[in-house]
Amino acid sequence: LVIEFFFKIKKYIKKNHGLLLKVTPNYFYQHLTAEGVPLDEPQSSIHKQLLNCGLKHNGFTHTYINDNPRVIFKKNLTGFTERDLLKSYHSSTRTKVNKSIKSGMTIHQFSREELPLFEDVMHHTASRQNFQDKGLSYYQDLYDSFGNQAKYMAVEINFNSYVEETLK
Q: What is the pLDDT of residues 19-40, one digit of tens each?
A: 888 887 877 888 888 778 889 9
Q: Could you give the CA distance from residue 127 to residue 138 in angstroms, rounded to a whole number?
A: 17
Q: How crowded is residue 131: how many other Cβ atoms within 10 Å of its Cβ?
A: 15
Residue at 106 is within a domain: yes
- Count structural domains, the chain: 2
Q: Could you give the CA distance from residue 164 to residue 149 in angstroms, rounded to a whole number?
A: 36
**63 and 103 share one domain:** no
Task: Work out the percent of the chain whose per-residue pLDDT is above 70.
Answer: 94
Residue at 86 is within a domain: no
The per-residue DSSP string of 11-77 comes to HHHHHTT---------S-S--B-TTS-BSS---HHHHHHHHHTT-----S-SSEETTEESS------
Residue at 147 is within a domain: yes
Which residue segment(s) compose the domain that 60 sits in?
A: 2-69
- Is residue 103 within 8 A of residue 159, CB to CB? The reply is no
Tell me the mean pLDDT in the region 129-154: 91
- Is residue 140 within 8 A of residue 152, CB to CB? The reply is no
Q: What is the pLDDT of residues 93-116, one digit of tens each?
A: 999 988 888 888 889 999 999 999
**68: which strand partners?**
65
